[in-house]
Amino acid sequence: MNIQLAIQHGTNILINKRINTAKLDAEILMAKALKKDRKYIILNNKEDLDGKDLKYFNKLIKERASYKPIAQIINKKFFWNNEFFVNENTLIPRPDTEAIVEQVLKLTKHKNMMNILDIGVGSGCILLSILKERKNFYGTGIDISKNALDICKINAKRLKVYGRAKLYKSDIDKFVEANYDLIISNPPYIKSCELKYLESDVVKFEPKLALDGGVDGLSEIRKVIKKSSELIKKNGKFVLEIGFNQKNKVVKLLKEKGFYINCTLKDLALNDRCIVSTKI
Ligand code: GLN
């Protein structure tokens, strides 16, 4: 069987599972099976496959058909300007979260040195992307998951910013090191009872710990805001990702803890996704 036919066959299996990126996914998985890039696959689609490669490709298609996310099958996800190593231990970096990076880069255009804290650092996509762009900035990432921190460490080394990143396993309640110029966070913010309605890729394969925001979706956000108000310098900026319907409630929580609201940002689907505030 040649590459093209195998991809067609794999695509059909994924279409039957209602995966709407079926063809793209099959091409990416073929590239992985053959240890080539996607361009090679497309340009050489008449090439014959040997039995071993075809078997491996079919195994990868089966994994995808069980809704395992592509990023977890190929162990990588592109975010902002870099490729991140990912597995089942962290949330897969979302394009929507790039809004935080973009905003932080705007806010820090003329800053020489800054100490940044990322609460719930996960794969490190936000903090490490910023450290990569701002060579004089230092970052601290905390996460309750040791497995997530291991991933973050791999990424920090790959991006060559490990020397400027401190990583701690800690619950936000317990963390005491203070005095940050800037705090960023993408905490879990989905209501526990709504987790089951997320896409199969997400519910079945991404860590609940990174998604579950408790009964009203705000339990972690509340903790993050309270603690940030203690750890941040006066006039320090706080950039927080939120759920699409949480803006009003979170603005209120921020104001109660002494933050001035600078602006809210929308994601690619035009939902409110991020709040920028300043500690006063
Ligand atoms: N935006 C993510 C999702 O919809 C949730 C991220 C989070 O809870 N921080 O899957």
Q: What is the pLDDT of residues 60-111, one digit of tens each?
A: 999 999 999 999 999 999 999 999 999 999 999 999 999 999 999 999 999 9
The span from the CA of 265 to the CA of 267, in Å, is: 7
Judge whether 90 and 151 are in contact, CB under 8 Å. Answer: yes
SS3 content of the chain, % helix, strand, coil (to 5): 45, 20, 30
Helical H runs in 115-258?
125-133, 146-158, 200-205, 219-231, 247-256
If you ran DSSP here, which 8-state letter would residue 48 be given?
Answer: B
Distance 242 CA to ligand 1 centre (A): 8
Superfamily (CATH H level) for 88-279: Vaccinia Virus protein VP39 (3.40.50.150)
pLDDT digits (tens, 9 = 90+) for 240-267: 999 999 999 999 999 999 999 999 999 9
Q: Residue 175 — very low, low, confident or very high, per pLDDT cuts 50/70/90?
A: confident
Among protein residues, the one whose CA lies closest to atom 7 of ligand 1: 188
| CA 241 to ligand 1: nearest atom | 9
Same fold across 3-66 and 88-279? no
Domain boundaries, the chain: 3-66, 88-279
For atom 9 of ligand 1, the residue with the nearest CA is 188
CA of 51 to the centre of ligand 1 (A): 40
Q: Which CATH number is associated with domain 3-66?
A: 1.10.8
CA 207 remoteness from chain centre: 12
- Rg (Cα) of the chain, in Å, rounded? 21
Backbone angles phi, psi at 180, to 5 degrees: -100, 145
Query: With a 6 A CB cut-off, is 94 part of the ligand 1 pocket?
Result: yes
End-to-end CA distance of the chain: 66
Q: 191 CB under 6 A from ligand 1?
A: no
